[in-house]
Amino acid sequence: MVVNPSAPLTSTDPVRTCVGCRKRAAKRELLRVTAGSDVHGLAAVLPDPDGTAPGRGAHLHPVTECYDLAVRRRAFTRALRHEGGLSTVPVADYLDSRTDPQ
């Protein structure tokens, strides 16, 4: 299903809170992230743009400003209820790949 993120928000659209800026937005406007493992097998926050990964998720505006706020506030660990540190590099790489002009 393809959803137009610029379409007007209706009362039936699911609403989520960005873990970075703490503003509420339509679920379709946010990037879902989950806890998992990076390529080295270490605990990490992974982007889930399709929203299909199993387990607890958190939502983030797909912009570096909200990402930076979430990292500074340690919001990923808290929102994903993960004990110990989580690498956020996979999310940063995903956001960088979306903004690179190619």
Q: Per residue of the chain (102 residues), what is the pLDDT tens digit?
A: 445 555 555 568 899 999 999 999 999 999 999 999 988 889 999 999 999 999 999 999 999 999 999 999 999 999 999 988 899 999 999 999 987 665
* Cβ contact 63:98 at 8 Å: no
Q: And the tokens for 26?
A: 């339509």
Q: What H or E segment, with its residue span, contains residue 28?
A: none
Characterize 52-86 residue by residue with b for buried, 16 or more Cβ atoms within 10 angstroms of its Cβ, and e for exposed. ebeeebbbbbbbeebbebbbeeebbbebbeeeeeb
- Token representation of residue 75: 């919001």
Q: What pTM, to 2 d.p., does this model score? A: 0.82
CATH C-level class of 15-99: alpha beta
